[in-house]
Structure 1
Amino acid sequence: MSRYPACVWILAAVVAVPAAAKTAPSVVRSDVASAAAVTASYGAVTSVFRTPAHNREVGGVPNSYHLQGRAIDVARRPGVTHGQVAAALQRAGFRMIESLDEGDHSHFAFAGPGDLVRQIASASPPVPPVPEPPKYPPVAADNHGTLRIDLPAAEVGGR
């Protein structure tokens, strides 16, 4: 009889945790929690994990990273740009696979342990190198020949 309450408790715990949260690696979930802490000073974190029903209610895409607990939405404070929040996450070492400015909020999705991540381009383009001046062949002063107008009148034929 003492086994029965323990089995019920374990069963209740397994059923209560959404399936997507059970399959998401714990490293990713802790990264999302840490990312939320980093972004808290830039605004309010409005979404992290979503159930499929809630995702439909808010108009989320069917394959949203929120369903896996791998994304956050941040309603930015006035004056805070999406780039500032993204830069703070990059400085903190987060690997983002989505970084979207959705107007009224920023959306970030994070890479899991085996995901390949393309390097996100910096906000300013690289400075192009200064071109070298063209290299012309050296010209000696006497290569142009002698012009009759350069000679004194006595040497031209005595005119």
Structure 2
Amino acid sequence: MSRLARIAIAAAGVALASPAAGAGTAPSLHFRDQAAETGAASRFLRAYGIVTSTFRTVAHNRAVGGVPNSYHLLDQAIDLVRRPGVSHQQIDAALRKAGYSLIESLDEPDHSHFAFAPARITRPAVQNTPEAPPAPPPPRLAADIHGTLNVDLQAQAARGSEPRSLSR
């Protein structure tokens, strides 16, 4: 991920976690891949507690007692131990307001679990502006009998000189 993308994601997380963000509508977040979305959500959630789990391998998921079809295996889930005074509902509302599409929101006794819908891939809008028509071709120049071009005669007339013809 480019440095600029990391800065933009961090800035979005800081802006959305700030008290001022509650005053207006949070912008919708669009990421190019699931790992970027989960990473940004993880940074966003640090304001509410400690992130304890994101992506898991099959072996790690089995070792911690995760279900076989866990969203953690797809890098689409985050577990968070909440800070004192922070409720699961507050975090759920903040994620939804920030534009995340939650498909699981579980309030466990010792942590919160959130699973996200697959990241949307955004593409720039296609502009349907028609192409400009091609420029008309220049007028054909015809030579007179003596080989002098009509354009030359017009230019000479404009200068006030007598038209001359070339003889062969």
State yes or no: 1:48 paired with 2:54: yes
- Measured against aligned partners, the alpha-carbon deviations of 1:46-102 in whole angstroms (never above 9, x if no partner) come to 000001111011110000000011100000011110001111101110001000001
- Measured against aligned partners, the alpha-carbon deviations of 1:13-62 in whole angstroms (never above 9, x if no partner) come to xxxxxxxxxxxx96221111111111100000000000111101111000
Q: 1:42 corresponds to which letter in structure 2?
A: Y
How big is the alpha-carbon RMSD for the aligned residues of Structure 1 and Structure 2? 1.6
- Paired residues in the alignment total 90
Partner in structure 2 of residue 75 of structure 1: 81
Q: 1:40 corresponds to which letter in structure 2?
A: R
Structure 1 residue 113: Cα displacement: 4.4
State yes or no: 1:90 paired with 2:90: no
Q: What is the TM-score with the length of structure 1 in the denominator?
A: 0.54
* 3-state SS in 1 of match to 2:41: helix
Partner in structure 2 of residue 31 of structure 1: 37
State yes or no: 1:102 paired with 2:108: yes
Assess if the C-alpha contact under 8 Å between 1:28 and 1:110 holds in 2.
no
Q: What is the TM-score with the length of structure 2 in the denominator?
A: 0.51
Assess if the C-alpha contact under 8 Å between 1:43 and 1:76 holds in 2.
yes
Show structure 1 runs of 5+ residues with no match. 1-24, 115-159
Show structure 2 runs of 5+ residues with no match. 1-30, 121-168
